[in-house]
A and B are shown apart, each in its own frame.
Chain A
Amino acid sequence: MARLRFALRLPSHDERNALALLAPLLIVLAVVAVFPIAYSFVTSLYDVNLARPLRRPFVGFDNYLQMLGEPRIQIALWRTAVYTFITVVGTTLAALAVALFLNETFRGRRILAILLLVPWATPSVVNGLMWKWIYDSNYGVLNGLLSALGLIDNYKIWLADPDKTLYLIANAAIWKQMPLSAILLLVTMKSISEDLYKAARVDGANVFQRFLHVTLPALRPGLMLVLVYETMISVRHFDLFMLLTQGGPGNASSTLSWQIYVETFRSLRFGTGSALAYILAFVTLILGYLMIRLGWRRGKI
């Protein structure tokens, strides 16, 4: 009864004022976020092909089933999983190493920490173009370096090798994403009490034992944050694929994000393209949920 009374009562003066102040923002959010999201979901339930504007039949969840049943999408899902695994593990390990290094006291540490942020601050497109140059088969720095070191006889056509493409893209992604993760881990490390290390030393723990039994457990909240964030980013990665390989050669670097682009903007099938986008969003959501649940249970983040 009390709840009903609450529901039926008119908003107070303060509440009306608050609503009036929030209204412009709510309208903007509704127009730029809520409506497009809802509309794209509705689109995913229709057979929408821009090249066939005279027909738009309702197909329900057929677009989802059709996409999940297609071998190219299954391959893309697998490649997305592999790419995400390589990128997340690579970024986290590199970030951990850099954070441990910067946690030590040495001259120039602050400048190094600032310089570390340069790759992260570089715009994604610039990063992609830079790596395109680095990997170029004719004048790329990678070939030049390996050749100068005597590690290769002939210049390699890196991005045309379907066995290496995904790793090369992951490498470029790690370079870009590692700095932010390193800073996040460094901040967490700084919060670890020095008393814990002192106690460990008293117990006779060596440097590796101190890392395993003090640093790593204390880092768990930061690590979980990095893992969740990097997974969310990597699953949806698109810019490097667009700039470096366009999903090729063949389908060697065709991930789910790339397939969404192909389906929507090349094949102009907005229905199936939207369905794929929702599949990707669902995968991202599930991964994020599982990781947070896992971290919550074990690390109490």
Chain B
Amino acid sequence: MKTSVDRRAVLAGLGASASLSLLGSPIDPAAAAETINYTAWSAAVDQVQSHIHAFQKATGIAVNYSNFPGAQFRATLVTKFTSNEPLDLIWMNDAWTPEFVEAGWIAPIDDVPELMKYNDDVRKYCVDAMRYKGRQYGLVYYTDHMSFMYNKEMLEKAGFEKPPASWDEVVQQSLKLKQMGLAEFPLMLALTADAWLIEMIGPFVYSFGGTYTDQNGKSTLRDAKNGALAAATWMRDAITTHKIVSPGAVTTSEIDALKAFGAGKSAFAILPSYRIRVVNDPAQAKVAGNVRIGLMPAGTGDKAGNYTCGWVRYYGVTPHARADKNRQAAVMKLMEWFGGKIEDKYVFQKMLLLDVGVPFCTKSLMQDSDVLAFYDKWAGGEGTIVKQASLAVTKDVISPWFGEWNETNNQSWQSIFLGQSTPAAGLAATGDKWDQLKKQFG
């Protein structure tokens, strides 16, 4: 914690001099007099507030920061845009980019060289995730992927030296863990029908070599050879046949799964990699010190591998912010303050990782000694996380109709898990909805 305070003290000091060099141009007093509206979901609130405070002190630009629950954030933004609220800088989910661009709610930033220079130091898939129809719409806030976490101590008790390398091995190890009474449901999954579900299912679909869509954007979910079908079948069997996943998973949220895994109720869990800090923190989890990350088990089939689902969240600017020259300059400065460098240092990205465990897209930061020490302390080294990140797949369903389709998709997968529909029928239903919406949107 002391590290954090020190960094913030340094940050405040850095602010004054940094403000003069940001984006090259001095700040117009008129811009400084206006308040920038900064809208985010409720995450890392303390870190964001302290960083805004430093920004205001350094630049004299007032920032009106407001945050809203993550689960309702998209709807909140849509409502605000529809009612013409003057938003400037917003947190964006890569899944919303096409929808928001088509609606005219976010503006490209690729004509701002001072921000584009960061692309050279950002992993390519992160840059790609912020692009739509050839334009770039933001600067990275953070990136992450679903990780396969395991309780090392529990596995050792069951006589396993290594985590499972395939989903078949997950079944074998889980059945033994069950038999030995170490866990009633050894694999913890959060399969409630919320915004997380597609990212929970993603690791299964991609590690079985599956896809949602083809190169033309048409659904592939009706294809019997698609790995998605094998993934759905495996997940259903894990719940209903092998009983290694609790049937209650369909009502379990990501936070509930985290708590249960942290309490030692299961041996394996699929969770975002940034959760490794929480589950290995003695103040927050009973199993602290025993959790490690393994590569995502591979499915069966030609295209199977240790793939997982990755995502990017980024800072986006609105047309309102870009409509006025002074406001635009102020908003771009704020965006760089968060997503770029201050005095040649990625201050906020590093703070997010060290304080909350949230990973970044910046390549050079992986050489930072504090970052390496963080991964050594909380994850037993950065090797697996870095390798898994390189095997992360961006969801192949990002489209203007994603939000609408995802409602049907969530329900179809839940129907499969509950045995209400066969994997083939469930996937066909969500595939049909995809094609129907694709046609509607032209």
Contacts and interface: CB of A to CB of B under 8 A. Distances in A.
A246 B193 contact: yes
Interface stretch (A49-57, A108-116, A226-234, A275-283): A49-57
Nearest to B420: A250
Nearest to B429: A71
B214 interface: no
B411 A251 contact: yes
A20 B401 CA distance: 51
Interface stretch (B75-83, B224-232, B312-320, B356-364): B75-83
B78 A160 contact: no
Contact of B407 (A52, A160, A267): A267
B415 A267 contact: no
A159 B418 CA distance: 12
Given A265-B75, A268-B403, A248 B82 contact: no
Contacts of A250: 250, 411, 414-415, 417-418, 420
B219 to A, nearest CB: 18
A266 interface: yes
B81 A248 contact: no
Interface string A145-179: 00000000000010111100000000000000000
B75 A157 contact: no
Contact of B248 (A137, A162, A252, A254): A137
Interface in A88-102: none
A243 to B, nearest CB: 12
A268 B75 contact: yes
B404 interface: yes
A50 B250 contact: no
Given A52-B103, A162-B418, A268-B78, A248 B251 contact: yes
A267 B421 CA distance: 23
Nearest to B415: A250
A262 interface: yes
Interface string B43-63: 000000000000000000000
B246 interface: yes
Measured as residues with beta carbon below 8 angstroms from the partner, the interface class of chain A is 20 to 34
Given A160-B251, A245-B251, A269 B82 contact: no
Contacts of B407: 262, 266-267
Interface in A36-51: 49-51
Contact of B404 (A53, A248, A252, A269): A269
Contacts of B411: 72, 248, 250-251, 254
Nearest to B103: A53
Contacts of B82: 50, 53
B103 A160 contact: no
A251 to B, nearest CB: 6
Interface string B189-214: 00011100000000000000000000
Contact of A51 (B247, B250, B251, B403): B403
A265 B414 CA distance: 21
Nearest to B246: A157
B99 interface: yes
B251 A159 contact: yes
Interface in A10-61: 49-54
Interface string B3-21: 0000000000000000000
Contacts of B246: 157
Contacts of A299: none
A268 B82 CA distance: 11
B418 A249 contact: yes
Contacts of B103: 51-54
Interface in A103-123: none
B169 interface: no
B301 interface: no
Nearest to B405: A267
B114 to A, nearest CB: 31
Contacts, number: 79
Contacts of A49: 404
Interface in A194-209: none
A249 B250 CA distance: 6
Interface in A231-269: 245-252, 254, 262, 265-269
Contacts of A254: 411
A160 B248 contact: yes
Nearest to B193: A248
Contacts of B417: 249-250
B13 to A, nearest CB: 44
A53 B104 contact: yes
Nearest to A246: B193
Nearest to B263: A138
A53 B81 contact: yes
A267 B249 CA distance: 24
A137 B184 CA distance: 13
B373 to A, nearest CB: 36
B102 interface: yes
Contacts of B78: 50-51, 268
Contacts of B192: 246, 248
A245 B411 CA distance: 13
B105 to A, nearest CB: 8
Interface string B73-112: 0010011011000000000000000010011100000000
Given A137-B248, A248-B250, A251-B411, A50 B420 contact: no
Contact of A52 (B102, B248, B414): B102
Contacts of B248: 137, 157, 160
Give the top 4 A-B pairs by smallest Cβ distance, nearest first.
A157-B248, A249-B250, A250-B415, A250-B414
Given A51-B403, A157-B248, A249-B417, 15 more contacts: A49-B404, A52-B400, A157-B246, A159-B251, A160-B248, A160-B250, A247-B193, A248-B414, A249-B193, A249-B251, A250-B414, A250-B418, A265-B75, A266-B75, A267-B407
26 contacts: A50-B82, A52-B102, A53-B81, A54-B102, A54-B103, A54-B104, A72-B411, A137-B248, A157-B247, A160-B247, A160-B248, A162-B418, A245-B251, A248-B192, A249-B251, A249-B417, A250-B415, A251-B411, A251-B420, A252-B418, A254-B411, A266-B75, A267-B403, A268-B75, A268-B403, A268-B404
Interface of A: 49-54, 72, 137, 157, 159-162, 245-252, 254, 262, 265-269
